[in-house]
């Protein structure tokens, strides 16, 4: 499943980040990479944006980007 | 005196600028609580231990191979410039993520000191950090500091001196995963056996660079025969690493290795007493502020409150300032005997500068509001809330930051568009920043709203003007995205900083500096403009007309009413024949359909220099002209008697939209990439302003 399918409060591990290199490197610098654990903190209306927490850092993501991140729900 | 050149590098929002302020004991650099406050490198010099420390503050960069424009500034500087020491600033409360950049910086082979900032916050969050252990692993001096509480600042400076004096930095003890380490050993043994050396790199460093496909190193290696024997070994090594990592993408492998190292260092050095499952205060606040349902209403309410406050609280000191300026003008006028000189001082300078000073309280309140937004961390949340909405209009959620900065002043707003990665997003944002009414336009609105609306409606009207401007900006953004800047959308990935209580001294310094620069502008630029406008409105003198009026006034004799009306007629005619009058009359036909008289036309034209000048021009023009009422000569009264409601509203609309001031226009041209864009902006804004102003006038008349 992908990150955008998760609900508020869910925990998951990242399996794969399937974006272009530039976005991938930005995500890596936030700690979002294969093997990282995350929780869903908040979603805006219609899941247009999603707030996740990785390694104690809060990150805002757009729903479209979240779809490109493959996760396994814990 | 010897000088040491120090570069501060670190991820965004770790407090680099604040740390420099703390080290130099000054408050020269602007700080905020969101990524991208510093967009250009800035330098500060000060003396310490009889050395001149030259500090270079680089924009925050998540990675050395940065993608956004401000990250490129950092990248280019770190790689190509001459400097002695890097202070790598890290957020002690987010060590793991911050270490990723440190790992890249260590690769530069420069002298480095690690400054773990926000020590006070880390302590509050129950984190204890083993500094000695970090030093042992990274091989670089590490200091725990807090720019906020001044803790460790002196020690950091001492370390900078030591490192600058030391001949060479110590090698780090950073270990990669086992398969990578095996291959590194294999390759470096081979390099040693061949006796191969390159620059000042150790064979281990060369091996790591080869495995991680460092392009620059490959270019150099190509000149050596060893490359022939190296090639098959590297291929075999990479195969081994590929199988272990389950991917052939070296960037992914590198990222995984780095994250693993950073995680390892954190786990070895940071002890936390906090329960992992317990939500921290930022998470709790986020549950409310970016709530699915209440988030946006809360934001709108806060903005509405800010504008209410700007008007209501701002109105209190305004009265006193207004009467103070009036009294001052009268007092000064009574001691000057020369008529022309008095007119220059009272009608020109005091009326012009006074009209601008009047709005200082409003400006201060607005700036306090924006400073609060910037320092608390709420700004990024708003970007998060609005991205979905903005995205529909072809904008990026991050565009919110320059746009809201635009409510203060367009100049920093234009500069902060650099946080946007995509060129098209940047250009669209640049084009619509002007629709966010800047602080200098506030006086125009306050003036006209005050005349035509009851005090209890004024705050709401102000809010409507600002919101209408913003909405219009969004519509324009959509139009620009559809017809001019078509293209791919930029992803939205943004750090949500921790909420911080606004520090009083920080807000005070930001607002104080803003207010001071406003006053400076009033004292210099506006002063000169007022004199110029006064001159253009008082000259050329027409002796014939003057003589004729003087004769008529003499004939009228004791008929006071007639004398008064003749005097006023004389003033009006002189004003209309002045340079300013000629300019106004010449261009007025273009503004006639909008219901502007020639004085308003002139005010718009002089407003191209600075928006404050709109009010001061009106002040000068109406102070000299028309039927002067004895009881109240204030500008508001004058305008009320001379300008219709429809014209006034059309005027507000025009001011809301048309070209920003000269200074902002110059910055715009620079940021957009040429004067060509400024010409586009001029046409774009003027045409829009004219059309909408026309519609407003026709509806209301």
**pLDDT tens per residue across span B458-480:** 888 888 998 899 899 999 999 99
CA separation for the pair B432, A73 (Å, rounded): 42
Q: What is the pLDDT of residue A25?
A: 81
Q: What is the pLDDT of residues B353-362, one digit of tens each?
A: 777 777 778 7
Mean pLDDT confidence for B336-354: 79
Going by pLDDT thresholds of 50, 70 and 90, the confidence category of residue B679 is: very high
Residue B666 exposure: Cα atoms within 13 Å on the Cβ side: 4
User: Considering CB atoms only, which of B62, B291, B492 is closest to A29?
Assistant: B62
pLDDT band for position B655 (cuts 50, 70, 90): very high
Q: What pLDDT, on a 0 to 100 scale, did the predictor assign at position B277?
A: 66
Q: For residue B250, how many C-alpha atoms fall within 13 Å in the half-sphere facing its CB?
A: 13
Residue B245, token pair as written in the block: 């990592």
Predicted confidence at residue B87, as pLDDT, reads 92
Task: Look at the alpha carbons of A42, A44, A50, A55 in this order and tell me if their dihedral is positive or negative.
Answer: negative
Domain total of chain A: 1
- Find the closest chain A residue to B282 by CA distance: A58
Residue with tokens 């007022």: B530
Q: Which of A16, A24, A42, A51 to mutate to test the interface with B (most CBs of B within 10 A)?
A: A42
Among B107-116, B566-575, B576-585, which range has the highest average pLDDT?
B107-116
DSSP string, A12-68: EEEEEE-S-HHHHHHHHHTT-STT-EEEEEEE-GGGSEEEEEETTEEEEEEHHHHTT
Task: Find the residue in B nearest to A48 (Cα).
Answer: B388
> What pLDDT, in 10s, does the model give residues B631-646?
444 677 778 888 889 9
Checking if the pLDDT of B669 tops 90, the result is no
Average pLDDT, chain B: 82
Q: Work out whether strand B2-10 and strand B51-57 pair parallel, antiparallel, or are unpaired.
A: parallel
Closest residue to A28, CB basis, from B93, B259, B489: B259
Say yes or no for a CB contact (<8 Å) between B491 and A51: no
Encode pLDDT of B425-449 as tens digits: 889 999 999 998 887 888 889 888 8
CA dist., res. B114 & res. B91, Å (int): 11
Chain A residues in contact with B385 (beta carbon < 8 A): 44, 49
- Checking B274-279 for CB contacts under 8 A at 24+ apart, the result is B274/B125, B274/B126, B274/B127
Strands B42-48 and B270-272, bridge-based pairing = unpaired
| CB-CB under 8 Å, B283 with A53 | yes
Contact B591, B650 (CB under 8 A): no
How many CB pairs below 8 A link A and B?
126
Contact A49 B397 (CB under 8 A): yes
Q: Do B493 and A23 touch (CB under 8 A)?
A: yes
pLDDT in tens, B552-561: 777 777 777 7
A66/B contact by beta carbon, under 8 A: no
> Do the beta carbons of residue B134 and residue B142 sit within 8 Å?
yes
What residues of chain A lie within 8 A of the CB of B492, using their CB?
49, 60-62, 65
Q: Would you call A44 and B384 a contact, using CB atoms and an 8 Å cutoff?
A: yes
Cβ distance B387 to A64 less than 8 Å, yes or no, reads: no
- Give the Å distances, CA to CA, from B100 to B8, B133, B260, B519, B530: 16, 17, 10, 44, 55
CB contact under 8 A, A49 and B96: no
pLDDT band at B28 (very low <50, low <70, confident <90, very high): low
Query: Given an 8 Å threshold on Cβ–Cβ distance, is A31 in contact with B96?
Result: yes
Does the distance separating the beta carbons of A41 and B286 come in below 8 Å? yes
Strand boundaries in B324-439, DSSP class E: none
Q: Quick count: other Cβ atoms within 10 Å of Cβ B81?
A: 11
- Which residues form the domain of A24? 3-73
B254, B285, B491, B497: best mutation site toward chain A, by most A Cβ within 10 Å? B491
User: Which pLDDT score is estimated for B302?
Assistant: 87
What does the domain layout of chain B look like in residue ranges?
2-165, 178-246, 296-483, 529-700
Residue with tokens 């060479």: B168
Q: From the list B489, B493, B498, which residue is nearest A27 (CB)?
A: B493
Query: Is residue B566 predicted with pLDDT exceeding 80?
Result: no
C-alpha separations of B274 from A53, B177, B410 in Å: 16, 29, 43
B629 token code pair: 């009422």
Write the residue in A21, A58, A60 that is nearest to B492 by C-beta: A60
Give the tokens for residue B275: 């329960």
Cα of B462 vs its chain's centroid, Å: 23
Determine contact: A16 vs chain B, CB below 8 A. no
- Contact (CB<8Å) B387/A43: no
| Fold of domain B2-165 | Rossmann fold (3.40.50)
> B490-524, pLDDT tens digit by residue?
788 888 888 888 878 778 877 887 788 778 877 77
A36 vs B contacts (CB less than 8 Å) = 259
**Which of residues B318 and B176 earns the better pLDDT score?**
B176
ipTM: 0.92
B539-565 average pLDDT score: 76
CA distance B383 to chain A (A): 9
Which residue of A lies nearest to B489 if distances are taken between CA atoms?
A64
Q: Is A15 on the interface with B (CB under 8 A)?
A: no
From chain A, the residues in CB contact with B282 under 8 A are: 58
Residues 24-63 of A with CB under 8 A from B: 24-31, 33-36, 41-46, 48-49, 51, 53, 55-62
Give chain A positions within 8 Å (CB) of B259.
Answer: 28, 31, 33, 35-36
Distance from C-alpha of B481 to C-alpha of B693, rounded to nearest angstrom: 24
Distance from CA of A37 to the nearest CA of B (A): 12
Q: State the pLDDT at residue B696.
A: 92
B34 against B99, higher pLDDT? B99
Chain A residue with minimum CA distance to B10:
A29
pLDDT at site A51: 92
Which residues of chain A lie closer than 8 angstroms to B384, CB-CB?
A: 44, 49, 51, 60
CA distance B659 to chain A (A): 33
Q: What is the distance in angstroms between the CA of the first residue and the CA of the last residue of chain A?
A: 12
User: Distances from the Cα of B133 to the Cαs of B141, B250, B347, in angstroms?
Assistant: 11, 30, 71
Q: What is the DSSP letter of B344?
A: I
Cβ contacts of B391 on chain A, cutoff 8 Å: 48, 62
Mutate to test the interface with A, among B63, B129, B259 (most CBs of A within 10 A): B259
Structure tokens at B106: 């260590």
Q: Look-up: residue for tokens 């006209």? A: B448
Residue B690 has pLDDT above 90, yes or no: yes
């Amino acid at each position: 499943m992908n990150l955008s399918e998760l609900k508020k409060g869910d925990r998951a591990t990242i399996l794969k980040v399937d974006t272009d290199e530039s976005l991938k490197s930005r995500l890596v610098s936030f700690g979002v990479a294969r093997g990282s654990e995350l929780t869903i903190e908040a979603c805006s209306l219609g899941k247009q944006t999603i707030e996740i927490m990785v390694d104690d850092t809060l990150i805002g993501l757009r729903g479209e980007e979240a779809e490109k991140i493959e996760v396994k729900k814990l | 005196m010897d000088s040491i050149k120090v570069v501060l590098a670190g991820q965004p929002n770790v407090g680099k600028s604040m740390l420099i302020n703390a080290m130099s004991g000054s408050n020269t650099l602007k700080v905020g609580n969101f990524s991208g406050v510093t967009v250009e490198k800035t330098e500060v010099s000060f003396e310490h231990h009889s050395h001149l420390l030259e500090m270079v503050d680089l924009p925050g960069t998540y990675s050395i191979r940065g993608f956004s424009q401000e990250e490129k500034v950092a990248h280019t500087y770190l790689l190509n410039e001459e400097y002695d020491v890097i202070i790598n600033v890290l957020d002690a409360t987010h060590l793991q993520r911050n270490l990723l950049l440190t790992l890249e910086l260590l690769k530069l082979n420069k002298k480095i000191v690690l400054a773990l900032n926000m020590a006070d916050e880390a302590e509050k969050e129950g984190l204890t950090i083993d500094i000695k252990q970090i030093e042992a692993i990274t091989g670089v001096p590490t200091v725990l500091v807090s720019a906020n509480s001044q803790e460790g600042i002196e020690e950091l400076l001492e370390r900078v001196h030591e490192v600058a004096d030391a001949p060479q930095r110590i090698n780090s003890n950073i270990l990669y995963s086992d398969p990578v380490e095996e291959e590194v050993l294999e390759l470096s043994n081979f390099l040693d056996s061949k006796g191969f050396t390159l620059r000042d790199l150790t064979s281990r460093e060369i091996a790591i660079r080869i495995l991680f496909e460092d392009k620059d190193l490959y270019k150099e290696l190509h000149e050596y025969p060893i490359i022939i024997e190296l090639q098959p070994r590297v291929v075999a090594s990479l195969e081994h690493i590929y199988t272990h990592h389950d991917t052939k993408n070296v960037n992914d492998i590198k990222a995984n290795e780095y994250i693993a190292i950073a995680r390892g260092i954190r786990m070895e050095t940071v002890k936390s007493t906090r329960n992992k499952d317990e939500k921290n205060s930022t998470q709790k606040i986020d549950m409310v502020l970016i709530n699915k349902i209440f988030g946006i209403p809360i934001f709108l309410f806060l903005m509405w409150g800010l504008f209410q406050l700007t008007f209501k609280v701002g109105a209190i000191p305004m009265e006193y300032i207004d009467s103070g300026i009036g009294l001052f003008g009268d007092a000064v006028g009574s001691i000057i005997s020369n008529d022309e000189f008095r007119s220059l001082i009272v009608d020109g300078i005091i009326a012009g500068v006074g009209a601008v000073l009047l709005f200082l309280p409003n400006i201060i309140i607005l700036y306090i509001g924006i400073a609060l937004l910037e320092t608390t961390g709420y700004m990024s949340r708003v970007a998060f809330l609005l991205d979905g909405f903005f995205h529909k209009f072809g904008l990026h959620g991050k565009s919110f930051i320059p746009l809201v900065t635009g409510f203060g002043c367009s100049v920093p707003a234009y500069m902060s568009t650099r946080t946007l990665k995509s060129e098209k997003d940047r250009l669209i944002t640049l084009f619509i920043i002007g629709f966010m009414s800047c602080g200098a336009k506030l006086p125009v609105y306050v003036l006209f709203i005050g005349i035509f609306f009851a005090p209890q409606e004024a705050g709401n009207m102000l809010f409507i003007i600002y919101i209408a401007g913003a909405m219009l900006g969004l519509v324009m953004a959509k139009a620009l995205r559809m017809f001019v800047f078509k293209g791919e959308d930029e992803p939205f990935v943004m750090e949500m900083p921790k909420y911080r209580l606004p520090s009083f001294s920080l807000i005070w310094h930001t607002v104080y500096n803003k207010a001071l620069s406003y006053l400076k502008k009033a004292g210099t630029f506006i002063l000169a403009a007022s004199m110029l406008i006064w001159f253009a409105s008082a000259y050329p003198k027409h002796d014939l007309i003057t003589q004729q009026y003087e004769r008529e006034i003499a004939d009228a004799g004791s008929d006071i009413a007639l004398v008064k009306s003749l005097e006023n007629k004389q003033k009006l005619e002189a004003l209309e024949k002045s340079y300013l009058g000629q300019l106004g009359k010449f261009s007025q036909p273009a503004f006639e359909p909008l219901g502007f008289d020639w004085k308003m036309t002139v005010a718009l034209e002089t407003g191209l220099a600075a928006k404050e000048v709109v009010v001061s021009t009106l002040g000068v023009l109406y102070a000299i002209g028309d039927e002067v009422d004895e009881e109240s000569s204030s500008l508001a009264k004058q305008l009320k008697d001379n300008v219709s409601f429809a014209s006034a509203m059309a005027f507000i609309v025009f001011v809301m939209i048309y070209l920003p001031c000269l200074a902002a226009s110059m910055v715009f041209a620079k940021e957009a990439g040429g004067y060509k864009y400024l010409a586009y902006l001029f046409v774009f804004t003027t045409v829009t302003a004219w059309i909408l102003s026309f519609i407003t006038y026709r509806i209301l008349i």
